[in-house]
Amino acid sequence: MRYDYMIVDVFSDTPFGGNQLAVLTDARGLTSEAMQAITREFNFAESTFILPAEDGVHAAKVRIFTPARELPFAGHPTVGTACALVMSDAQAAGEFVLEEGVGPVAVTTRRDGNLYSARLRLNRGPDRPESPPSAVDVAAVLSLPERHIVDVFAAGMGVNFTFVQVTSRDAVDRSQLDHAAWRGLLADSWASQVHVFAGELEDGGELYARMYAPAFGIAEDPATGAAAAALAGAAGLRNGRDLAFDIHQGVKMGRPSLIRASVRVADGKIAEIGVEGATTFVAEGQIEVPDRFLAGSLVG
């Protein structure tokens, strides 16, 4: 059976930048096994599968897969899928809600001619572990001298990250994941995904980042919205005030991305986290799915 798909580039306003995303626009009848196999076939960082919403007031249910596993939430798939729904005329531009593994996620979409963008909103703070990895450990994992490590902390919004602030953009570019060190030091930790960045977590700040997620089958991610959300939440809790900053990622990979992250703080607590960026249409087509991957009601 053939299924329609779209390919979009997320957190980029031009094709062939940002983070690639395959969106199956009507995934009814596909098993979880099929979704995982299709994601491996596309071999992007993530693919999404659109299903009818369980709550009729919501726009759609969205399942998100990496080549290795399903995720309860991810930023670039949320932003990209929201824009794909508008591109395909399944939803009008504006506000709607997507159902994901973490629960309802509100999005605001915009269209200006052929330019599309979306902003997701989360109304809670990030999860945090009791203690993050040490500077010594993350230096080994990133193949960097310890003197380049400025700060280490961990946070997550459905997906957990170890954040490593380093001294300079050059240190970010020089980072290289040591897989043996990662397996021994971080693979089984609370936050095995490693997000390394340079820049200050301040209002109007400009960060330069890379992200490694071998546990998800992602050697390096060009743009990581879930990390941006967790980073904004952690920064808001640290500073105790509203912040908005930009994250430049994917540059070293040749897929430059721009993520705008923000946090609103009220009475010392996180009131809202926002992640925003552009999405560009790249391609559309059909994928043939063997009957053995379909739900039993569609076979025979």
pLDDT 10s digits, 193-205:
999 999 999 999 9
Q: If 0-12 CB within 10 Å is exposed, 13-18 middle and 19+ buried, where does residue 18 land?
A: buried
Largest CA distance in the chain: 63
Flag whether pLDDT at 298 surpasses 50: no
Binned at pLDDT 50, 70 and 90, residue 296 comes out as low
Can you tell me the mean pLDDT for 174-196?
97
Can you tell me the mean pLDDT for 156-164?
96
Can you tell me the mean pLDDT for 53-70?
97
* Number of domains making up the chain: 2
Q: Is residue 269 part of a domain?
A: no
pLDDT of residue 295: 86
Can you tell me the mean pLDDT for 200-224?
97
* Same-domain check for residues 157 and 81: no
Residue 246's identity, in one-letter code, is D
* Same-domain check for residues 6 and 99: yes
Q: Is residue 76 part of a domain?
A: yes
* Same-domain check for residues 94 and 200: no
46 catalytic residue (yes or no): yes
Task: Render pLDDT for 67-104 as a digit per residue (tens, 0 to 9).
Answer: 999 999 999 999 999 999 999 999 999 999 999 999 99
Flag whether pLDDT at 300 surpasses 80: no
Flag whether pLDDT at 299 surpasses 60: no
Q: How far is CA 162 from the centre of its chain?
A: 14
Where are the alpha helices (H) located in 175-213, listed in sequence order? 179-185
Q: Is residue 258 part of a domain?
A: no
Please tell me whether residue 18 adopts helix, strand or coil conformation. coil
Q: Which residue has the higher pLDDT, 58 or 299?
A: 58
- The mean pLDDT value of the chain amounts to 96
Asked if 166 and 185 count as a contact pair (C-beta separation under 8 A), the reply is no
Question: One of 46, 220, 272, 276 is an active-site residue; which one?
Answer: 46
Asked if 155 and 234 count as a contact pair (C-beta separation under 8 A), the reply is yes
* Same-domain check for residues 30 and 95: yes
Residue 278 to residue 280: CA distance in whole angstroms: 7
Residue 245 belongs to domain spanning: 135-252
pLDDT of residue 203: 97
